[in-house]
Amino acid sequence: MTAASIGGTTQRPPKPGRSMLVPVGLAVAAVITYWALSAEFGIGLDLGAILEDIPRGSIILSEVLRPNFDFFPRTTGAMLETIQMAIIATAIGCGIALPAAFLASRITAPNVPVLRINRAILNVIRALPDLLYAMIFVTAVSIGPLAGILALVFFNIGVIAKLLSETVDGIDVGPIEAARAAGANRVATVRTAVFPQVLPNYVAYSLYVFELNIRASTVIGIVGAGGIGNVLNAQIGFFRYDNVGLVILELFVLVLAIELVSVFLRRRLV
């Protein structure tokens, strides 16, 4: 029987009851938002002050949207330094993250203790933001690009190892079983049966963190870790928002170019 019928009449199915999940969820979200924004319990958001600052903000925004292209020659050195920092940090960080990811995967880790210890170390590395790493290394090795590179290396290890280990956990285990049946040792199994499966993802993740490094360098440069961030911070301090607009435009073009290259390489590898 495809339709519920009794005595020649078709009965409509009962209407589903109205769930209280959505109203309750909205109410909880409203309470949390009020708690976070209130002056008594939260950050003390002052809408009046925001409205008063709108004219000043519009002036700054108008200056940012009119970049001073005459300032471009003074940014090329810092931008080149930023790219160099990103390349070095990406190469070192991704190189270290590759074996770390294999040791953090339940499929390729040699045993459970190694798996748990490596995951714990990676969790600690990933817990610290790149700006904090920059502050630590600026104190340890002084101001300059070396501090920025070291900060980005640790940041990259945490990101790449996490993403790649999860990718390894989801690969097809058939080639691994075939390699082991053929007598391959652990290293040979990873090299022939695991790495080829995750190579496209590894390249994509590496390009992704390279893009992140370009962006992060603008932040860590504020604390003296080199790169275009130093120039950006100085121009903000001088209230030269037209120069700030030029730096933002350069970063946008650079990140867009990296994204286009990343898409091209992913299509070639997949």
pLDDT of residue 8: 53
Q: Determine, yes or no, domain membership for 92.
A: yes
Residues 183 and 52 in one domain: no
Q: Which domain holds residue 53?
A: 21-65
pLDDT at residue 190 in the model:
86
In a shared domain, residues 100 and 43: no
What pLDDT, on the 0 to 100 scale, is given for residue 42?
58
Chain-centroid distance, C-alpha 243? 27
How many domains is the chain partitioned into structurally?
A: 2
Last residue of a domain, which of 65, 92, 118? Answer: 65
pLDDT at 13 over 80: no
Reported as half-sphere exposure (CB side, CA atoms, 13 A), residue 149 has a value of 14
Give 38-72 pLDDT, tens digit per residue. Answer: 655 556 666 677 777 788 888 888 988 999 999 99
- Is there a domain that residue 229 lies in? yes
Residues 40 and 129 in one domain: no
* Cα 139 to chain centroid, rounded: 25
- Do 54 and 81 have their domain in common? no
Whether residues 112 and 154 fall in one domain: yes
The pLDDT of residue 19: 66
Q: If you average pLDDT over residues 94-115, what whole number do you get?
A: 91
Residue 90: inside a domain: yes
Q: Is residue 15 part of a domain?
A: no
Task: Summarize pLDDT for 193-247 with one digit per residue, the tens.
Answer: 888 889 888 988 998 899 888 888 888 887 777 788 888 888 988 889 999 999 9
- Whether residue 265 lies inside any domain: the answer is yes
DSSP line for 187-221: HHHIIIIIHHHHHHHHHHHHHHHHHHHHHHHHHHG
Q: Is residue 12 part of a domain?
A: no
Residue that terminates a domain, selected from 50, 65, 80: 65
Same domain for 57 and 117? no
In this prediction the pTM is 0.76
Q: Six-digit token pair at 153?
A: 């290396």
User: At which of 65, 87, 121 does a domain end?
Assistant: 65
Question: Does residue 99 sit in the same domain as residue 188?
Answer: yes
Distances (CA, A) of 238 to 168, 226, 234, 235: 49, 18, 6, 5
Distances (CA, A) of 93 to 98, 127, 151, 161: 9, 16, 10, 9
Which whole-number Å values give the CA distances from 270 to 95, 113, 140, in the listed order?
A: 21, 34, 42
Q: What's 193's domain CATH number?
A: 1.10.3720.10
Task: Flag whether 2 is in a domain.
Answer: no
Structure tokens at 245: 């607009």
Same domain for 81 and 60: no
Is the domain of 134 the same as that of 150? yes
Instruction: Find all residues with CB under 8 Å of 102, minimum gap 6, and list them.
Output: 108, 109, 165, 168, 190, 194
pLDDT at residue 96 above 90? yes
User: CB–CB of 230/51 below 8 Å?
Assistant: no
Contact status, residue 183 vs residue 173, Cβ threshold 8 Å: no
